[in-house]
Amino acid sequence: MKILTLNCWSTSIHFRLFRRDDFALLALGNVERVGLGDSYLVYIQPGRQKRSIYLDYCDHQDALSLILSELANSSHGVVEHIGEIAAVGHRVAHGGENFCNSSVIDEQTFTTIRDLQQLAPMHNTHNSAGIEAARRLLPDIPHIAVFDTAFHQTMPEQAFVYPLPYEWYQQYAVRRYGFHGHAHLYLSRRAAALLGKPHGQCNLVTIYLDRGVSICAIRNGVSIDTSMGLTPLEGAVMDTRCGDIDAGIISFEMNRGNLSAREMDGILNQKSGIFGIIGKRIGRRALIQAALDGDERCALALKIESYRLKKYIGSYCAATGPLDGVVFSHGSGSEDWYMRQLALEGLEVFGLQLDREKNRKLPFCDRETDLSAPESSTRIFVIPSDEQLAFAEDVASILARGSVDHASHAYTFSHPDFVPKVCTEASDRCHP
Inter-residue contact 213 to 235 (CB < 8 Å): yes
Task: Determine the Cα–Cα distance for residues 229 and 232; give it in Å rounded to an integer.
Answer: 6
Task: Determine the Cα–Cα distance for residues 319 and 206; give it in Å rounded to an integer.
Answer: 13
Q: Spelled out in words, what is the top-level CATH class assigned to the domain 197-383?
A: alpha beta
427 confidence band (pLDDT: 50, 70, 90): very low
CB atoms < 10 A from the CB of 329, how many? 26
Task: Report how far apart, in Å, the C-alpha atoms of 425 and of each of 25, 216, 304, 421 are.
Answer: 13, 27, 30, 12
Q: How many degrees, rounded to 5, is the angle at CA 185 between CA 231 and CA 387?
A: 80
Q: What is the pLDDT of residue 75?
A: 86
**Annotation says 386 is catalytic:** no
Task: Determine the Cα–Cα distance for residues 207 and 370; give it in Å rounded to an integer.
Answer: 15
pLDDT digit string, tens, across residues 126-172? 999 999 999 999 999 999 999 999 999 999 999 999 999 999 999 99
Helix (H, G, I), strand (E, B) or coil at 296: helix
426 confidence band (pLDDT: 50, 70, 90): very low
Helix (H, G, I), strand (E, B) or coil at 319: helix
Report the CATH architecture of 2-147+387-414.
2-Layer Sandwich (3.30)
| Whether this model's pTM surpasses 0.85 | yes
Pick left, alpha or beta for residue 35 (phi over 0 → left; psi -120 to 50 → alpha; otherwise beta): left
pLDDT at 189 over 50: yes
27 confidence band (pLDDT: 50, 70, 90): very high
pLDDT at 425 over 50: no
Sign of the alpha-carbon torsion through 215, 336, 199, 323: negative
Catalytic hit among 21, 56, 140, 148: 148
* Mean per-residue pLDDT, 20-29: 95
SS3 for 237-273 is CCCCCCCCCCCHHHHHHHHHHCCCHHHHHHHHHHCCH
Task: Determine the Cα–Cα distance for residues 6 and 348; give it in Å rounded to an integer.
Answer: 41
Helix (H, G, I), strand (E, B) or coil at 18: strand
CATH 3.30.420.40-classified regions of the chain = 2-147+387-414, 197-383
Q: What is the pLDDT of residue 365?
A: 57
pLDDT digit string, tens, across residues 291-330? 999 999 999 999 999 999 999 999 999 999 999 999 999 7
102 confidence band (pLDDT: 50, 70, 90): very high
Helix (H, G, I), strand (E, B) or coil at 20: coil
pLDDT at 409 over 70: yes
Note the residue count of the chain. Answer: 432
